[in-house]
Each structure stands twice: as C-alpha cells, then as structure tokens.
Structure 1
Amino acid sequence: MATNLLTVEQVLKEKKTHDLDSVKELNLGHRALTDVSCLRKFKNLEKLDLRLNNLTDLQGLKSCVNLKWLSVVENKLQSLNGIEGLTKLTVLNAGKNKLKSMNEISSLVNLRALILNDNEISSICKLDVLKDLNSLVLSRNPISEIGDSLSKLKNLSKISLSDCRIKTIGSSLKSCSDLKELRLANNEIKTLPAELALNKRLLNLDVGNNMITSISGLEVLGTLSCLRNLNIRGNPISDNEKSAKKVRKLLLPSVNVFNAKPLDKSSNNVKHARFDSDDETVDARHNKSVEEEQSKEDRKSKKSSKRNKLEEVEANNDDHKIKKKKSKSNPNVDQVETEKKEEQKQKKTPRNDDDAAAKKKQKRATPKEKLDAIDDAETSFAEIFSRDNVSKGLGDDSEKKRSSVQETGVVRVIDTQDNKKKQKKAGKNQSKSVVSELPMEVEIGLGGESKWE
C-alpha cells in the first residue's frame, strides 16, 4: 500500500501560520493518511480529528502530550500503541477499527469519554484509574462478560454494551451509582440481577432482543423509581400478551416510554403519575380544577334555589291559612296586612337574587383569573413548579431563568395543600426531573463533559 505522509509544511499552510506552537486544533479527516509522525512537532495541539484515514498505529502521536480530544474513527488500527503517554486526554474515539485489546487506555487518568464500538475487543480491561470516566461505548464487540472491570467507576453515567455476547450482568454495575443510561440490547441475557436496584438513578434501560422468558427476570424493575424509558422488545416475555401486561403493571408510574411507545397516562396508573414529569400540562391540571369548582358552585346554587322555592311554598300556604282565619273576623284588616306582606316580599326577592348573582359571578371570576395567570406565555412550567433549575448531568442544558412562585403572580393558584405536597416531593427528586427535560448536547472534549457518539 502506498504511503501518504503528512508534512509540517502542509499543516502550516492550511493554518496560515509559521508558528508551530500556535496550532491547537487540526481537522485532518478524509485524507487517506498513513503517516502523521510530523505532528510530534506540534507541542500545543489539543484537539485532533483523524477520522477516515488509513492509519495502522498511533506511534506518531507520542509527543502530542497536550492532546485532550482525539478521534481516529474508521482507520485500520490493530492496537492503540502510542497513546499511553497522552494523559491529558478527556475524549478518545477509536470506533470502527480492528482493535483486539483496550489495555493501552488504562493509563489515561483524565479520560471522560471512551468510544470503542465496532472493533474486535473480547474483554474489558481494568479501568480503576479512570475516576472521571462518565461515558463508555463498547457496542458491537465480542465481549462475553463485564466482570469487575467497572467496579470502581462511580461517575459512569452512560454505558453501551449492545450487540455483544454478554450472558449475565451480575454485580458488575453495583458501584456505578450515577448510572443513568444502560444499553444491553442484542445480547444473551436471561434475567436482570437484583443488584441493578443499586443503580437508583437509572433513567433509560434497553434490554431488547435478549433471552428473558419470565416476569421473575424483570422483578428488579419495580425498585427503579427513576426509570423513564424501558425497552424489552424481542424477548420471549414480550411476545406473550399476558406476560407483557404483567410487566406493565410492574412498572412504576414514572415510566413514560415502554418498548418505544409512550404509555397512555389516561390509564389507572395516572392516579399515581409523578408531578415532576411534563406529561400533564399546567393548563390541563388547572382546567380540571376549574371545572370541579364550577360544578360545586352549580350544585350549591341548585340546592339553594330548591330550598328558596320550598320556603316560598310554605310561606304561601301559611299566608293562605292566616287569610282564611282573619277574613272571617275582619276582612279590611286582612286586606291591608296582605298588601304589606306582598310589598315586603317584592322588595326582598330582587335583592336576594342580585346578591346571589353577584356572589356567583365573583366566585366564577376567580378561576378565570387563575387560568389567565397560568396561561401567560412568559411563565414556564419549570418556573412555577420547581424550586431550583438543575444543570447537573451529561449534556444537560442549564436553565437561565429562576423565578419564585410569587414573581409569577400565581401564588394563590398553587398555594394549596395538595400542591405543597407535590412541591416538596419535586424538591426531593430534583435530580430525577432533570432527565425528563430535553438536553442540549455539549461538545465533548477540551475538558468538557462527554456525550454519546
């Protein structure tokens, strides 16, 4: 194979500079390069993209000790020899090569994202020193077991081991207390271990196309209170309609998506639906309360009108009896008294009707004011019902605004006993609600947090 060398002159010409030390970032993808040894002269290089070339080794990068971000996707690498001394690397993407081992990365103490999908790696090396690692992608490798290679990685947030040959998980993930996303589709797993309950922050779990046959293999799901997205399609248990229904009953109300389909929140478990999700809008909740309040008022008004009618009938009957008695003794006196009562009755009736109408109008006006306040486009769901906006997690977008309930002008709307309880619950589970929001991806590398491939 003909060699295609990269030269210092080419790099300087492309960067329009004569100063090697000023070059900190290079994009050298799609060039069929076979040798990049000239890059050892660029001491301050921090970000390097070498995707889609013909590299067979990384020896030429030994001296690039300041590299923080490196992509060598789709080359012809059979090993990662040459990167052992690049201890400042935070992101390494070497997917779609011919790597048979990943032992060389065990010295990269600052690594945050390791992406080695579509290689020929058969086992995961010990990753104890990678204390900051938060994303690990090893999908489509012939890995048969996880073992204890991840036993000390407490900051791991996302793991992808799909399309491997994994048969059991065991207790291999028990130390990954910050795990939020776990992809294990297309393996040979027969049951989810009880130790998975220790991953209390798990939000997304994909175990589709495995060998789970019974409900007992999924019982641990009932302990995962943060779970939002679950996929078990392609397992024998999901083919059986009765078993699938049992799984749905087992799921906590917090699950929004089951087997890639949004769950119908109008079912029975809507009673227990979590308040920190966005499945129910504020308008829907408020309209419901308004309707209930109006129906109560209507019932009260109907009862009062019936009571008034009964009183009028009784009064008329009494007057009629009195008239009969008095007409026998003194007809003139009876006539005068009857006229006086008729005048008093006419005076009282309109006033009572006006008062009742005014009270009813006033009571019905309040819900409308509340509705207007909540419908205000300037007031967001998060501003009304959360105490603080949380920006922790992988690639999560931090909220720029923080507004108190009083500032939104709807304190009287939500200041009920029911909503106070919900607010307390939401306050305790702020870290959970983060995941229901759509994250704005942060570019990985340069010391920043990582994202998926």
Structure 2
Amino acid sequence: MTTKSLTVEEVLKEKKTHDLDSVKELNLGHRALTDVSCLSKFKNLEKLDLRFNNLTDLQGLKSCLNLKWLSVVDNKLQSLSGIEGLTKLTVLNAGKNKLKSMNEISSLVNLCALILNDNEISSICKLDQLKDLNSLVLSRNPISEIGDSLSKLKKLTKVSLSDCRIKAIGSSLKSCSDLKELRLAHNEIKALPAELALNKRLLNLDVGNNMIMSLSGLEVLGTLSCLRNLNIRGNPISDNEKSAKKVRKLLPSSVNVFNAKPLEKSSKNAKHVRFDTEDVTFDSRLSKSAEEEEEESKVERKTKKSSKRNKSEEEEEEADNEGGKSKKKKKSKSNPDIDQVQVEKKEEDAAEKKQKRASPKKLIDAIDDAETSMAEVFSRGDVSKDSGDVVEKNKKRSSVQETGVVRVVDTHKKKKTGNKQQSKSAVAELPGEVEIGLGGESKWE
C-alpha cells in the first residue's frame, strides 16, 4: 500500500489562511491518507472528519486536545490508541474498521455519542466514567454479553447491539432509566428479562430474529406503558398468526406499530364507527320523510286551491243566472291570507332557484380571487357538491406546489373513518423511524 501523508501547507492552502490557530474544522474524507500527524500543530481544531481513508492508527491526533467531534469511519484502524487524552470529545464515530478492543474509550469523560459498529470488538469495556453518554452503537461486533459495563450510564437513551452474539440481557440495562430505543435484532436471545420493566420510558424495541419461543419470554412487554414500536419478526413465536395474536393481546395500549405494521383499532372503536354510520343513515331517512311530507302538503294545498276555484266558478255562474246579485258577495268570501301565503311561497321558490344557479359561479370567483382564503371558501354555505370537488382538487394542487410533498387532506367530514385511515395516521406519527424494527444500520451519528 502506498503511503500518503497530509502536510500543513495543504491544509492552510485549502482553508485559505496562514494562521494555524484559526483552523477549527477540517473535512479530509476520501483522500486515501495514511498519515495525518501534521494535524498535531492545529491546536484549536474542534471538528475533524477523516472518513474513508487508509489510517491504521490515530497517534497523529494525540496533541489535538480541543477536538470535540471526530469521525474515522471506514479506515483500517486496529486500535484507537492516541485518543486517550482527547477528553473534550463529545462524538466519536469509528465504525467500519478492524478494532478488536475499545478500552481507550474509558477515559473520554465528556463523550455523548459513541459509534463503533462493524468492528471486531468481543467485549464492552467499563464505561463508568462516561456519565453523559446517551447513544451507544456496537452493532455487528462479536460481543457475547453485555455484563455490567452499562450499569452506571443513567443518561443512556439509545443502544444498538444488533447482529452480535448476545444470548441474554439479564440486568445489564436496569440502571438505564432514560432508555428510549433498544435494538437487539439478530442475536441469540431466548427471553426478555423481568428487569426490562425498569426501563419505563422505552419507546422502540427491536428483538427480531432471535430465539424467543414462548409467550412467557415476552411477558414483561405488558409493563412497558410507553412502548410504541415493537418488532419480534424472525422469532419462533411469530411464525404463525395464532401466536402473533397472543402477543398482540399482551401488548400495552400505547403500541401502534407491531412488526413494522400499524396496529388496527380495537373492535370496540370499530363498533362505535358502525353505530355512528347507522345514526347518519337513520337521520337521512328522517330527513327524507320530512321532504315527502312537505311535498304531500304542497299537493294538498294545490288540490284545495283548485277545488275552491271550481266552487267559486259554479257560484258565480249561479249568481249570473239570478241576476248577478250574489256575485260580489261570493268573491268577498275569498281568503286573502291563503292568497298571500301562495304568493310568498312562489317568491321563495324563485329566490331559491336563483341562488342555486348562482352558487357555482360565486365559488369559482372565490377560488380565482387570490385574497380569499381556502378556509373562507369552505365556510360558505352555498357550496355545491360538484364545486366542493373543485375546491378539493385545487387545495391538493396548492399543497404540492408549496411544499413539494403530496399531503392527504380530508375535506369530507365524518367520512371514511374506518380502520384503514387510522392505520395511515399511525404510520404518519413515526417520522424518521423507518429503520426501527428492521435492524438496519444506525444513522444516529
């Protein structure tokens, strides 16, 4: 392998400065570097990215005492020797190397995130001094047990030990009272310990592809009242639907994603939905009956009116035969109130027809008017069904133009409130957690 050393001149030229003390951040990734010892002269360096190089050791960083963030992902490191004195480090990512030990980490007292996935580490060293550590990623290392290495880490919130050789968790996490995310997929775990009940704040748990065979190995799940996302796929207990149903009954009500699928609403809620639907149908039947009664009333009034007219004509004819004396008398018996009601009714019908014809135009004008808000358009009482579809299409189109993302907008109230829609909303509640439950590579860095 050819050696490639970094020089001070190269760094200063890249940063366009002659002052070594002014350099606080460097991105030196993808350069095939084998030696970075010149960086010891940059005393104020705080952030350093050395990913995808050919480094075999970190002795050249021994004097960078102000470093707070360091990434040496995908190099050829066999040891972390040289970083023991970098006590200001808060983030260290040394994943995808050939590390066999992590003992040099124990002195980094300010470390908050430690990522050492895809190495050859067989045991976790004592991390008692790392009081502020909140994220620990050791996936794809031949680690067989956790032991008591995490017993003093009370601020730990995320732990990934997927694809290791762990056979049991035991009481190794009982002190991690703030733990929210635990990944233990692709191991040899046969049961979840009762001590897991002490992790009351646990939100996401992945124990997929282990060796859990019986329901008793999962009983502790019922005590995790904050659990939202659980994966047990790939275990013998999840081989058939009957066993999966038993596990679902065991889960706390807080769980909304099980085996990477949103849980359906309970049958109780489903019955409630059906009851509401029946009520709506019943109301529509009542409404229909009222309309029919009103129509019958109109017909009855018209019949009476026609009857009165016929009677009046007969009387007038009689009066003419008698010499016309009773003609005025019969006309005077005509009811002015009934005539007035009929006139008003005709005027109302005419106004209603006019309003219906005008409604679509008013709605279109409102949509075309840039100063009219969509909320105002929807609040109008004269929006027809066809016009409502126009509004919905325009609203969706506007949403896409503004955000670049298609958003599902429900403009029809109290419709399609079944389990399918609830499932969609459940998925929407979990942004950024796609890899949870899948045992994927960590993105916590």
| Same fold? TM cut 0.5 | yes
Per mean C-alpha deviation after superposition, the further-off stretch among 193-202 and 262-271 is 262-271
What is the match of residue 262 of structure 2?
263
RMSD across aligned C-alpha pairs, in angstroms? Answer: 5.2
Letter in 2 for 1:436: L
1:305 to 1:48, Cα distance in 2 relative to 1, 3 A: closer
What is the match of residue 307 of structure 2?
none
Give the alignment of 1:17-416 within 5 angstroms. Answer: 17-260=17-260, 262-263=261-262, 265=264, 268=267, 295=281, 297-301=283-287
Deviation at 1:159, TM superposition (A): 1.0
- How far, CA to CA, are the matches of 2:268 and 2:87 in structure 1? 50
1:99 to 1:293, Cα distance in 2 relative to 1, 3 A: same
CA contact (8 A) 1:157 1:181 kept: yes
What is the match of residue 444 of structure 2?
452
Deviation at 1:105, TM superposition (A): 1.1
- How far, CA to CA, are the matches of 1:350 and 1:246 in structure 2? 67
CA contact (8 A) 1:113 1:451 kept: no
CA contact (8 A) 2:96 2:117 kept: yes
Letter in 2 for 1:204: N
CA contact (8 A) 2:257 2:263 kept: no
Letter in 2 for 1:263: P
Q: Size of the alignment, in residue pairs? A: 377
Letter in 2 for 1:96: K
Show CA shifts across 1:20-41 (max 9, x none): 1111122222333332221111
Letter in 2 for 1:452: W
Deviation at 1:94, TM superposition (A): 0.9
The two structures have a TM-score, normalised by structure 2, of 0.65
Letter in 2 for 1:257: V
Letter in 2 for 1:211: M
Query: Secondary structure of 1:156's partner?
Result: coil
Query: Secondary structure of 2:136's partner?
Result: strand
- How far, CA to CA, are the matches of 2:429 and 2:107 in structure 1? 32
- How far, CA to CA, are the matches of 1:35 and 1:259 in structure 2? 46
Letter in 2 for 1:268: S
Percent same amino acid at aligned positions?
74
- How far, CA to CA, are the matches of 1:92 and 1:269 in structure 2? 49
What is the match of residue 436 of structure 1?
430
- How far, CA to CA, are the matches of 2:264 and 2:192 in structure 1? 26
Per mean C-alpha deviation after superposition, the further-off stretch among 54-63 and 159-168 is 54-63
Deviation at 1:225, TM superposition (A): 3.4
Query: Secondary structure of 1:126's partner?
Result: coil
Letter in 2 for 1:104: E
Per mean C-alpha deviation after superposition, the further-off stretch among 146-155 and 55-64 is 146-155
CA contact (8 A) 2:35 2:55 kept: yes
Show CA shifts across 1:349-408 (max 9, x none): 999x99xxxxxxx9x889x9xx999x988xx9xxxxxxxxxxxxxxxxxxxxxxxxxxxx
Q: Mind listing any 5+ residue stretches in structure 2 that lack a counterpart?
A: 299-329, 351-378, 400-412, 414-425, 435-441
Letter in 2 for 1:134: N
- How far, CA to CA, are the matches of 1:272 and 1:86 in structure 2? 62
Query: Secondary structure of 1:222's partner?
Result: helix
CA contact (8 A) 2:109 2:129 kept: yes
Letter in 1 for 2:287: S
Letter in 2 for 1:90: T
Q: Mind listing any 5+ residue stretches in structure 1 that lack a counterpart?
A: 274-284, 313-334, 355-361, 381-413, 415-431, 441-449
1:161 to 1:272, Cα distance in 2 relative to 1, 3 A: farther
1:90 to 1:223, Cα distance in 2 relative to 1, 3 A: same
